[in-house]
């Protein structure tokens, strides 16, 4: 297992996935995409609404993520996520409806500092991120 990374993907709501992979690539807000290969130096990074993926052989598996933290050390990568969805779990119709609801709410709110505005803005960003992943 020396040339593999043990990847743990865990969300706040208890969704978990455990895999042994060849590499992990995460979208870091300040740096762009960071590739992690076995035996890399340790890293801790903040994740934002975006994506990550892992490889096993030539196959890439993508995930949409709504924020979280990555911790990599000793060939163990742990992604603690607010929420995550594997690309095959994404439903374009559901995502499109969520995007439209968020846009409708944002169009009605004048106070950009309100909690309702922040929540709708967050929902819109998540929906757009998921739609991009499906393209």
Whole-angstrom Cα distance, residue 128 to residue 78?
Answer: 25
More confident residue, 44 or 119: 44
Mention every residue, 6+ apart, whose C-beta is less than 8 A from residue 7: 17, 18, 19, 20, 21, 24, 54, 77, 79
pTM exceeds 0.95: no
Q: What is the pLDDT of residues 63-116, one digit of tens each?
A: 999 999 999 999 999 999 999 999 999 999 999 999 999 999 888 887 777 888
Of 68, 12, 75, the C-alpha closest to 45 is 68
Q: What is the pLDDT of residues 7-53, one digit of tens each?
A: 999 999 899 999 999 999 999 888 889 999 999 999 999 999 999 99
Of 44, 48, 24, 27, the C-alpha closest to 35 is 24
Whole-angstrom Cα distance, residue 74 to residue 135?
Answer: 34
């Amino acid at each position: 297992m020396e040339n593999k990374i043990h990847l743990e993907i865990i969300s706040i709501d208890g969704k978990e996935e455990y895999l042994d992979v060849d590499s992990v690539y995460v979208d870091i807000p300040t740096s762009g995409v960071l590739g992690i290969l076995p035996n890399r130096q340790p890293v801790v990074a903040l994740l934002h609404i975006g994506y990550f993926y892992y490889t096993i052989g030539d196959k890439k598996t993508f995930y949409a993520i709504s924020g979280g933290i990555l911790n990599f050390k000793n060939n163990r990568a742990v992604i603690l996520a607010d929420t995550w969805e594997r690309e095959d779990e994404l439903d374009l119709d559901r995502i499109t409806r969520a995007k439209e609801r968020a846009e409708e709410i944002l169009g009605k709110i004048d106070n950009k500092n309100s909690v309702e505005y922040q929540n709708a803005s967050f929902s819109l960003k998540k929906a757009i991120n998921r739609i991009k992943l499906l393209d």
